[in-house]
Amino acid sequence: MNDSMRSRAKRNDDGFTLIELMISIAAGAVLVTMVWTMWQLSCRQIAVARAHVESSSTAFAVLERIEQEVLRAKTIQVPDPDHPADSSIQLQVDTGSGVVRRAFRLAEGTLVVDMKDETAEPVSVYEGIDALEFTLLDPPANSTVAIACTVNIAGQQSVLRSAAKKRN
């Protein structure tokens, strides 16, 4: 091997060529882009999952709240006579210190609880409710009510159905 070939071979071993650097930078950029995209998709999926959990939890809480009152009810009326146009239910509930009327109704996407014989104002309990349906399953006894609740939070919809029977 002559001296010029040895010196050229030696120079190539000392560092990287411009093309090698450009290829490695391009490969690194592709990897960073892939990781960034995967991270963004993960964040979106987590947000969707959280919204779904929140909508399901809200629907479950609404049904549970109403079911507990139905279990204690002496009478059930669907719809609430004071709000016949709304999706509503009125219950006469034994509180231990007397019988009071309680009504649950859907008003502009919010579950409202009216404590009719008590001095409290109507209470907005849960928001994000698209639909609330009450159906008496055993007229004329009116002791069992089917409840369907549809909740939509951040585009995630949950529909839960239940039936509750008064104990009295």
Q: Is the pLDDT of residue 12 over 70?
A: no
Share of the chain above pLDDT 70, in %: 89
Domain for residue 11, yes or no? no
Domain for residue 21, yes or no? no
Domain for residue 24, yes or no? no
| Cα 117 from Cα 101, distance rounded (Å) | 6
- Output helix, strand, coil percentages for the chain, rounded to the nearest 5: 40, 35, 25
Domain for residue 116, yes or no? yes
Q: What number is the average pLDDT over the span 77-82? A: 85
Find out whether 123 and 131 touch, Cβ atoms under 8 Å.
Answer: no
Domain for residue 1, yes or no? no
Domain for residue 5, yes or no? no
Structurally, the chain folds into a number of domains equal to 1
Domain for residue 13, yes or no? no
What residues make up the domain containing 121? 40-165
pLDDT at 75: 85
pLDDT in tens, 105-136: 888 888 888 887 766 777 888 888 899 999 88
**Residue 99: HSE in the Cβ half-sphere, 13 Å Cα cutoff:** 9
Domain for residue 8, yes or no? no
Q: What number is the average pLDDT over the span 64-88? A: 85
